[in-house]
C-alpha cells in the first residue's frame, strides 16, 4: 500500500512539473496525507423557501493525497494536484484534479493560496515548520443545500529544492 501511495505522489508531481516549461526548477514540493475534517451544510430549502437548518458531517478525502509545487517559472502560482479529487457527493462541484492557484502569502512559516471556481472557492494553507496543510472550500448553490463549507487538514512532507528557498 505504501508503494502505491508513493507511486501516486511521484506521478502527480511529475505531471505538474512536466506540465510547466522544461526549464522551470521546482523550489518546493509538498505531499500530504488524506485530508480530514468537517463539512457544514446550510440549507433553506428549494429556492430558499423552506426552514433554515444546518448540519455538520465528518469529512475524509480518501486517496486524495494532494501535492503542491512552487517553481521558479511561476513564482506567484502554487500548483495543486489531487491523486483523487475530493468527492463532493453531497453537492457538486469537486476540486479540479490539477489547478494553478494564486499565492496570497508566502512566508517562511506559511504559504497560502486561493482558487476560485464557478461556485466554489478553495483556500490552501501550508505550514512548513509545523508539517501540516489546511484546506478549506466554501460553496453556494441556488437550489437545495444553498451553502457548504469544508475545513480539512493533513500531515505533509515538505521538500525544498534549493538552500536559498528558506526551508
Cβ atoms < 10 Å from Cβ of 35: 24
Over the stretch 115-145, which tens digit does the pLDDT of each residue have? 998 788 999 999 999 999 999 999 877 665 5
What pairing do the DSSP bridges indicate for beta strands 98-106 and 132-140? unpaired
* Cα torsion 87, 89, 95, 98: sign: positive
For the whole model, what pTM was predicted? 0.76
C-beta separation of 151 from 41 below 8 A: no
Q: Which of 129, 89, 136 is nearest to 109 (CA)?
A: 129
The residue among 3 and 105 whose pLDDT is bigger is 105
Three-class secondary structure of residue 155 per DSSP: strand
The residue among 75 and 87 whose pLDDT is bigger is 75
Measure the CA dihedral 18/22/26/32, to 10°. Answer: 0
Amino acid at each position: 500500500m505504501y508503494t502505491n501511495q508513493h507511486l501516486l505522489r511521484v506521478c502527480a508531481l511529475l505531471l505538474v512539473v512536466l506540465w510547466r516549461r522544461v526549464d522551470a526548477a521546482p523550489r518546493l514540493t509538498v505531499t500530504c496525507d488524506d485530508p480530514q475534517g468537517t463539512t457544514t451544510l446550510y440549507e433553506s430549502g428549494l429556492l430558499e423557501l423552506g426552514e433554515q437548518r444546518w448540519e455538520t458531517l465528518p469529512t475524509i478525502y480518501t486517496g486524495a493525497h494532494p501535492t503542491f509545487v512552487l517553481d521558479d517559472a511561476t513564482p506567484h502560482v502554487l500548483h495543486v494536484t489531487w491523486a483523487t479529487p475530493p468527492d463532493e457527493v453531497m453537492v457538486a462541484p469537486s476540486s479540479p484534479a490539477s489547478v494553478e492557484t494564486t499565492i496570497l502569502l508566502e512566508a517562511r512559516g506559511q504559504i497560502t493560496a486561493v482558487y476560485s471556481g464557478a461556485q466554489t472557492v478553495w483556500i490552501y494553507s501550508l505550514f512548513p515548520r509545523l508539517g501540516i496543510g489546511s484546506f478549506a472550500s466554501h460553496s453556494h448553490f441556488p437550489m437545495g443545500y444553498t451553502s457548504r463549507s469544508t475545513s480539512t487538514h493533513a500531515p505533509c512532507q515538505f521538500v525544498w529544492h534549493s538552500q536559498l528557498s528558506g526551508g
